[in-house]
Amino acid sequence: MKRKLTEEEYKIIIERACKEVIENLDTEEDKEDYKTIMEEITEKLLETMDWDPKDVINYVVKDYIEQITAIAKLSPGLETGLIDTKYGITFNTIIGKTSDIENAEDISEDTVFDVSSMTKFFTSVLLLKEAEEGKIDLNKKFSEYSKVLEKMDESIIKALKFGTTVRTDELVAKDGLSKEERLKALLSAHTLPGKAFEYNDIQYMLVPFLFSDDAEEATEIYLKKFYSLYKGIGLSQTGYSTINMSGGNVTVKYDENGNEKHLGLEIFDPKAHKVETEIGLVPTHAGVTSSIIDLEKLFIEIENGLLNEESIKSLITTITNNNIYLLDENNEALLNSKGEKIKVNHAMGVFPHVGDVRICDIADGPSKDAFVIAGSTGSWFTFDKSNGLAYGYLPNIRSGLYPREIDVDYPYGTEGDEIPFGKNIVHLGSAAYNKGSMEDGKLERGEGKPNMPFTTETNHFKRQQFEIIIKLRIAKLSEIVKAHIENDDKEYEKICEIIEKAFNNKKYQKIDKKEKNKSFIKI
């Protein structure tokens, strides 16, 4: 060792690391807002000055793990992911069970989650790749590619970005319809100004018909394209799946070549289920299952040029046809800390829930070019190329009795539970904003069986994920500089290898509830 740093010297290193990380951050937010983050990480790192890098990380993420543990009380299971390609940091966690069914298995690295409306993003990327390769023109109308969609007199790209209102003569998911009647209802899709159609998924349901006018043949063609693209870029856990309710596991169903038709699988979105099982058409608006690791792989591929810049820009969709600003439950524009309206950037194909405006869909912090994908299960993933980072979570909210719903008596969390990040862990009511309580940072049950219990409960956590990446960046940079000053070249190289391994563990870190007061992470 060359020499041991004093605490004052190490504090200067940490402060310089804070300044470098914050100044290099591409964000519209006032840099002054990061003072609290800098103070917190400085205090933590000074306490861990002589610790092993792995122990440093465990201490830095201690509060973050507590938040994940609190959120997991609302669900049988949850996985989270952070990936930072600029600083070489990966931090993923898993916690809980695959279901609330008795003797359900623990979530593992092999567990995949229903991503619900995030499916639209996978569909969108596939179509954009087709367009880049000259196989399809997204500026053309649906009717120009399909005889059975003659009433869809609107461009594909505009419809898929919810830039037009799509209606059908009959509700596609209506009970009691025969296969022929349901198919007829779907193919009656047409554009019409005025009140938005009840289901904003119809335009995505029509995507396979761009490849064939026959539902089963269209499904086969679409799935071959789907698996060719996503298996080709290494997404080994992504596919159309079925739910084994007896054990609560999600089992991916496809062969190596992706040739299976995937008809008759159990997709629990009511529209997807009826479209697939009764029409024989793969649902391209819902039904895909994936994992945090695969979403991180997809981010890296997009960052490395899977789509060109023009395609990436075309992913952005606004929350409604006429409004580009984030609204609260009273349809009033939310304002940021500067008193400005907050512009909404949704990934193309993200379904904005009509009637349940989703507050804080995008947390302050990411770059103005960042976009998100989200699903009705509460799944969330942010793509931020400018900052070289991505983060999100996939909850398993399926109980043994209610697909995509949890009974108010489910055993996860108790009324009045404390939550470490303050307020807005909210109600579990059947209406997203009408029942339950948001007061005093307590969990208070509403009535009914919610199908979106995470859409507001986890809003604060989105910000926390962004902040923990910043803290980990500062921690890693400080550790490297300290190692360089204190050690000769040979020893420095060895320590850098240890630091890289500690900050970029490719495997999940499993949260152990029983030992959470002693060791927050089991590596």
pLDDT tens digit sequence for 70-111: 777 767 788 999 999 999 999 999 998 877 667 777 888 888
| Most confident among 261-265, 412-416, 438-442, 493-497 (mean pLDDT) | 493-497
Mean pLDDT of the residues in the chain: 74
Smallest Cα–Cα separation from 297: which of 92, 454, 459, 465? 92
What would the 3-class secondary structure string for 180-237 be?
Answer: HHHHHHHHCCEECCCCCCCCCCHHHHCHHHHCCCCHHHHHHHHHHHHHHHHHHCCCCC
Res 488 pLDDT > 50: yes
Give the pLDDT score at 370. Answer: 78
β-pairing, 389-396 vs 380-384, is: antiparallel
Give the pLDDT score at 270. Answer: 65
DSSP 276: I
Q: What is the reported pTM?
A: 0.82
Give the pLDDT score at 419. Answer: 43
> DSSP letters of 460-485?
HHHHHHHHHHHHHHHHHHHHHHHHHH
pLDDT in tens, 157-206: 888 876 666 788 888 888 888 989 999 989 998 876 544 444 568 889 99
Give the pLDDT score at 433. Answer: 30
Q: What percent of the chain has pLDDT over 90?
A: 34
Sign of CA dihedral 91, 96, 97, 103: positive
Res 56 pLDDT > 50: yes
Structure tokens at 8: 């004052």
Nearest-10 crossing angle of helices 35-47, 53-60: 140
Res 352 pLDDT > 60: no
Ranking 213-217, 261-265, 511-515 by mean pLDDT, the lowest is 261-265
Res 374 pLDDT > 50: yes
Give the pLDDT score at 319. Answer: 47
Higher pLDDT, 254 or 209: 209
Structure tokens at 370: 């960042």
Residues 393, 461: Cα–Cα separation, whole Å: 10
Residues 481, 12: Cα–Cα separation, whole Å: 11
pLDDT in tens, 125-165: 999 999 999 999 999 999 999 999 998 988 898 888 766 66
Give mean pLDDT, residues 260-281: 63
Give mean pLDDT, residues 208-221: 92
Give the pLDDT score at 10. Answer: 96
Higher pLDDT, 269 or 384: 384
Higher pLDDT, 120 or 434: 120
Give the pLDDT score at 51. Answer: 94
Give mean pLDDT, residues 322-328: 56
CA angle (477, 467, 293) in 5-degree steps: 85
Q: Residue 504: pLDDT band by 50, 70, 90 thresholds?
A: confident
Residues 452, 290: Cα–Cα separation, whole Å: 19
Beta strands in 223-297 (DSSP E): 239-244, 249-252, 288-290
Residues 404, 451: Cα–Cα separation, whole Å: 6
Res 216 pLDDT > 80: yes
Res 313 pLDDT > 50: yes
Give mean pLDDT, residues 263-274: 58
Residues 473, 496: Cα–Cα separation, whole Å: 15
Give mean pLDDT, residues 196-222: 83
pLDDT in tens, 236-257: 888 886 544 333 334 444 455 6
Give the pLDDT score at 41. Answer: 95
Give mean pLDDT, residues 429-443: 32
Structure tokens at 218: 């269209």
Give the pLDDT score at 422. Answer: 37
**Residue type present at position 140:** K
Cβ contact 91:475 at 8 Å = no
Res 342 pLDDT > 80: no
Higher pLDDT, 468 or 69: 468
β-pairing, 509-510 vs 89-96, is: parallel
Give the pLDDT score at 249. Answer: 39
Res 386 pLDDT > 80: yes
Higher pLDDT, 392 or 194: 392
